[in-house]
Amino acid sequence: MLAALLAVSACSLPRGAALQSEIVKEQASDVPTFEVVPVTRANIPGLLAWPETGWHGHYHWPNASSGSASSVIRTGDRLDVTIWDSQENSLLTNPGERFTKIDAVEVDANGSIFLPYINKVGVRGLTPSGARAKIQTRLETIVPSAQVQISLQQGRNHAVDVVGGVAKPGAYPMPSRNYKVLNLLADAGGIPSGLRNPRVRLLRGSHTYEISADLLFDNGSKNALLHPNDTVIVEQDDRSFTALGASGIEDLIYFPKDTLTALEAVSLMGGLSDSRADPEGVLVLREYKASSLGKGPTMQQVVFTFDLTSADGLFAARKFPINPGDTVLATESPVTNARTIFGLIGSVFGVTNQLGNAVN
């Protein structure tokens, strides 16, 4: 029995997680394949300057600005033009009528519309009142008494799209040049409350911008002015980190807010297991791009270590950011193995005593 006990104690006992020493032992190797960085209050400022990982790279957002409350005529828009003339035998009106109406005149690729007697009139970039004044000026040489009215029907080139994450997705005509992203979200029925940390993405030409809905709603300076043909996409946050080891949860955990610290990540993991975890051995595993080398990390794969038994380690964990794609590992305490071995010893001696009592 004693031989069997020694054999068991010499073997690797079943565990739920690795020991910190097992993971970072390569640090002492002549040719390590990853970098080990203990995180302290002293080196946090330097670590915060390291390149970010796991982000889309478009987490910036245009600041709010204001546009005109009037609409601007664009290619593809249609104009309803009504021309009034009080003169008898007018060139523009039928006998007995005082006006003529020309409906749905489309603004062509050159930004012009065609009207009888005055040929093409450039109206693109003008407001409806500006276009009315220009057309009337052109008519004065032919019909001095003519007066013009214009009604604008905005075309597809004067609309914005909202896709997903709202009650009523679709294309929305811009009622003015002062149409902003919060106006669009309100017109589209708002963002459902069930979306996890919803994010608002703005696609404008070849540029992509992104912001969390909470920050957009809380900060008036983020209520960006929309441009024609913008596309707004609302999605729930898909950024996550992996939780492993001697914690309450081993799973893929999604970001519940814009940023997370290492201490918050441990909390989301259900904390450290009282009976199994090593609070001196909380690890964050991260992989950097090759282009990041020399800008902080010296190797692509880095293991950050935290000692949560000290105030220094706790304050450092409060400042250290978790990036999407990180793995947070709560390592097993060496004491757990010792307890297991002592338990086995106690069990063996208990069985031995029972056998001895039976023989006696």
Rounded distance, CA 115 to CA 131, Å?
Answer: 13
Confidence of residue 335 (pLDDT cuts 50, 70, 90): low
Q: Is the dihedral of CA 306, 310, 316, 322 positive or negative?
A: positive
Mean pLDDT of the chain: 84
Looking at residue 128, its amino acid is P
Give dist(CA 52, CA 50) in Å, integer.
6
- For residues 161 and 230, the answer to whether their CB atoms sit within 8 Å is yes
Which CA distances in Å does 127 have to 108, 111, 134, 176, 267? Answer: 16, 13, 11, 10, 56
* Alpha-carbon distances, residue 138 vs 116, 118, 129, 254 (angstroms): 11, 7, 14, 63
Summarize the confidence of residues 115-119 as an average pLDDT. 83
Q: Can you give the residue ranges of every domain in the chain? A: 15-55+239-334, 78-153, 157-235
DSSP for 1-24? -HHHHHHHHHSPPP-SS-BHHHHH
- Give whichever of 44-58, 73-87, 162-176, 286-300 has the largest mean pLDDT: 286-300
Asked whether residue 78 carries a pLDDT value surpassing 90, the answer given is: no
Q: pLDDT tens digit string along 21-56?
A: 888 887 778 888 999 999 999 999 999 999 999 887
User: Of the ranges 105-109, 279-283, 295-299, 315-319, which one carries the lowest mean pLDDT score?
Assistant: 105-109
Confidence of residue 148 (pLDDT cuts 50, 70, 90): confident
Instruction: Give pLDDT tens digits for 3-18.
Output: 554 444 445 555 556 7
Mean pLDDT of all residues in 72-83: 84
Per-residue pLDDT tens over the stretch 256-293: 988 999 999 999 999 998 888 999 999 999 999 999 99
Q: Would you say residue 98 has pLDDT above 60?
A: yes
Q: Indicate the SS3 state at residue 272.
A: strand
Q: Is the pLDDT at 345 greater than 90, yes or no?
A: no
Question: How far from 124 is each of 77, 139, 226, 281, 306, CA to CA, in Å?
Answer: 9, 18, 19, 66, 62
Query: Given its phi and psi angles, is residue 359 left (phi above 0), alpha (psi -120 to 50 degrees) or beta?
Result: alpha
For the CA atoms of the chain, what is the radius of gyration?
35
In this predicted structure, what is the pLDDT of residue 325? 95
pLDDT > 70: percent of the chain: 83
Average pLDDT, stretch 172-195? Answer: 90
C-alpha to C-alpha distance for 215 and 34, rounded to whole angstroms: 37
Q: Which overall architecture, per CATH, does domain 15-55+239-334 show?
A: Roll (3.10)
The confidence score (pLDDT) of residue 127 equals 85
Q: 188-213 in b/e burial notation, b at 16+ Cβ within 10 A?
A: beebeeebebbbbbbbbeeebbbbbb
- Grade residue 152 by pLDDT with cuts at 50, 70 and 90: confident
User: Three-state SS across 69-91?
Assistant: CCCCCCCCCEEEEEEECCCCCCC
Burial label for 308, CB within 10 Å (0-12, 13-18, 19+), is buried
Domains 15-55+239-334 and 157-235 share a fold: yes
Q: What is the CATH number of domain 157-235?
A: 3.10.560.10
The CATH fold of domain 78-153: wza like fold (3.30.1950)
